[in-house]
Structure 1
C-alpha cells in the first residue's frame, strides 16, 4: 500500500490563493490511539483556512500543516484505542484539527458522526465546523436560553446561517442579523427566518435599538472584532453578552469608542475559539450536535446552505471565491 497521497499544499509554506497546489507526494497519515483513517470524499472551506494559508493562524500543536478541518468520507482503518460503534467502511463526517484537504485524514473517532442517509456527502462536509462553532457560541459561551433575543453578524456566513437556525429552534424571542449588502440581509429574513437584518454599512446598532424599542439584544455573536466593538456595546441590552469569534475587522479598537456602557449595562464581552480546544471539549460538542441537531437535519428542519461545490483541483478558485465575500453558505470541494 502506498505511503503517500495527494493533498493540497502551499508553495513556500504560505501566501496567496495562487500558491495552492496538489502535492502527490504528501505522506499518508497513520491512525494512532483513538484515531480512524478516513478516505475523504468532500471537504468544506472555512475562513480560518484563508488565514492559515497566509501564515496568520496559530495552529494547535496537534494540527498537521495541511489545511482543512471538516470533511465527509469512509473509514479505512483504526488506531488501537478507537471509540466503539465505528467500523471499517462506515460512512462518516467529522471535525479535525487539520488535514482535510487531502485524500486521507487521521482523526479522532470522538469527532466523527455517522452519515445519515437523508443527507448528501456534500451537505455532511459542510456541517461540522460551522454548526459546532455556532452551538458553542450560542449555548456554551453565550448562555442562550429560550426567550432571549440574538443578533448574528456576517449573517450570510456559514456559521451565522447555522446560528440563526439554531436560535429559531431554541425559541429565541427575536433573531437579528447584519450583512454588508441588502441582498444578504434579504436572504437572512426570507431564507433563514430572521426577524430583521440590517446593512452593516449603516448605523445598524441604532436600527437594532429602534427594532427593540430601545432595549437592545440579549446576545450578539460577532466575527468582525475591532470595528463592531463600540456598536456592539451600543446594541446590547442590560446584562447582555457579546461572543467574539473573529477579527475580520481588525484587532485595534478605533479611537473614541466609549466603553462606559460595559459597566453601566453590566455587559459581558468574551472571546472564544474552537480549534484550540482539547478533544474532550470538542467531543462534548460533537455529542450535542449528534443528539440535538442531526434529527432536525433528517426531518428537514435544519438545512445546510451550499453556495457551490467545486472540484478540489480548483481549490485556488475556491479560496478566491471565499475571499470575495460574495457567498451565502458553504463552499465545498470534491476529491476526484
Structure 2
C-alpha cells in the first residue's frame, strides 16, 4: 500500500509518499480501506517532532479516516467487512489502509460522502470530550470558543448551541472568519486582531463572564480566561500554542470555585473513545443527517500533495477542515 512517511522532524518537505505492507490487525481492530483522511493540527505538530505518538500507536500521521472495512480481527462483531465507516484513529490515517479499534468506528451519517465523513471524527471527538465531558457544559450555560473557525471550534459551537441551548461567543482572526462563526451559531464573534477580546466579553456578558472556555492557546491567555469565568466556571485547554507556562491567580480560583483542566485524547484507551463514539452517533449524527449540524470543508488535496495541505494549516488559511483524497475511485463511488 501507499502511505506518507516523515523522513525526519521538520517542514512539510520531510513528508514523502512510500510503499509499505498493510498494517497487521490486533484483537479488537478492523482494517479500513481509506477513501479520505482528515488533516489536523496535531499532524503538523507530530511532523515537527513536537507531538510523539503514544506507545504502540502507528507512527504514520493521520487521526481520522473514512472508507470501507476490508477485514476484521476474529473477535470483532461490528463493523463487518464491506461496511462504510468513519473513524478516529490512533495514527496511520495517511495511508491506503489503516488499522482501527472497532469501537472507534462510526457509521457514515446519512447523505454524507467519504470526504465529508473524514472531516468529522477528530474534531467532533475533541469537541465532545472537552466541552461536554470535561467542561461539563450544562443546559443554557455560556461558552467561549477561542479559534471558532478551526474544525474543533465549529464543532464546539454547534454542539453547544444545538444540544445545550448555549449562548456561544467565539474569537477568530479576521472579519470573514467572524462571519463564519456567526453563520454556524455563535451569538457574537470577536476579531482578536482588532479588539480586546476580554473587554468585549465583559461587555457582552454584562460583567458576569462565561461558564466554560475552550482554548488551545494557553500561555498568557490562561489567566485572562480564568478572569473571564463566571463563578464555578471552567477553562479547558486542548493545546498550548502560545506557551507551556502561565502565571495564574490561585486565590481567585479558590475564591470563585474555578476549574482549570486540559486533555489529550490520543493516549486514551479505546474503551474511553468508544464511549464518545456512541454518544456522537446517538446525539450528533442525527443532526448532521438533517442539516442542523454541518461540517465545513476548506479544501481537498491528493495524498501525494500532502505538503500543500500542511502548508494551509501552518499559514492559518483554513476555515474548517482540510481533507486528503487517498483513494479517488472510492471517493467517487461513495459509501453507497
Normalising by structure 2, report the TM-score. 0.94
Q: Is the 8 A contact 2:137 2:164 kept in 1?
A: no
Q: CA deviation at 1:206?
A: 1.3
- Give the corresponding residue for 1:295: 286
Q: Is the 8 A contact 2:170 2:186 kept in 1?
A: yes
Corresponding residue SS for 1:170? helix
Q: Is the 8 A contact 1:245 1:273 kept in 2?
A: yes
Corresponding residue SS for 2:233? strand
- Give the corresponding residue for 2:25: 31
- Give the corresponding residue for 1:129: 122
- Give the corresponding residue for 2:187: 195
Q: Distance in 2 between matches of 1:149 and 1:27?
A: 49
Q: Is the 8 A contact 2:144 2:169 kept in 1?
A: yes
Q: Distance in 2 between matches of 1:130 and 1:194?
A: 17
Please show how residues 218-237 of structure 1 align to structure 2 within 5 Å.
218-237=211-230
Deviating beyond 3 angstroms after TM superposition, the runs of 4 or more aligned structure 1 residues are 257-260
Corresponding residue SS for 2:109? coil
Q: Distance in 2 between matches of 1:205 and 1:166?
A: 23
Q: Distance in 1 between matches of 2:185 and 2:126?
A: 20
Please show how residues 279-290 of structure 1 align to structure 2 within 5 Å.
279-290=270-281
Q: Distance in 1 between matches of 2:33 and 2:78?
A: 18
- Give the corresponding residue for 1:243: 236
Query: Considering only aligned residues, what root-mean-square deviation do their CA atoms show, in Å?
Result: 1.3
Of the candidates 8, 29, 49, which is equivalent to residue 4 of structure 2? 8
Residues 1:72 and 2:63 are matched in the alignment: no
- Give the corresponding residue for 1:311: 302
Q: Distance in 1 between matches of 2:110 and 2:259?
A: 41
Structure 2 unmatched runs, 5+: 328-336
Q: Which has the higher contact order (CA 8 A, sep 6+)?
A: 2
- Give the corresponding residue for 2:14: 19
Q: Distance in 1 between matches of 2:37 and 2:160?
A: 26
Of the candidates 322, 326, 331, which is equivalent to residue 335 of structure 1? 326
- Give the corresponding residue for 2:334: none
Cα deviation code 1:150-195 (max 9, x no counterpart): 0101111000100000011123341100112222112211x11211
Q: Distance in 1 between matches of 2:96 and 2:128?
A: 28
Of the candidates 86, 90, 104, which is equivalent to residue 93 of structure 1? 86
- Give the corresponding residue for 1:324: 315
- Give the corresponding residue for 1:161: 154
Q: Distance in 1 between matches of 2:259 and 2:304?
A: 44
Normalising by structure 1, report the TM-score. 0.94
Q: CA deviation at 1:260?
A: 4.0
Corresponding residue SS for 1:226? coil
Q: Distance in 1 between matches of 2:4 and 2:318?
A: 22
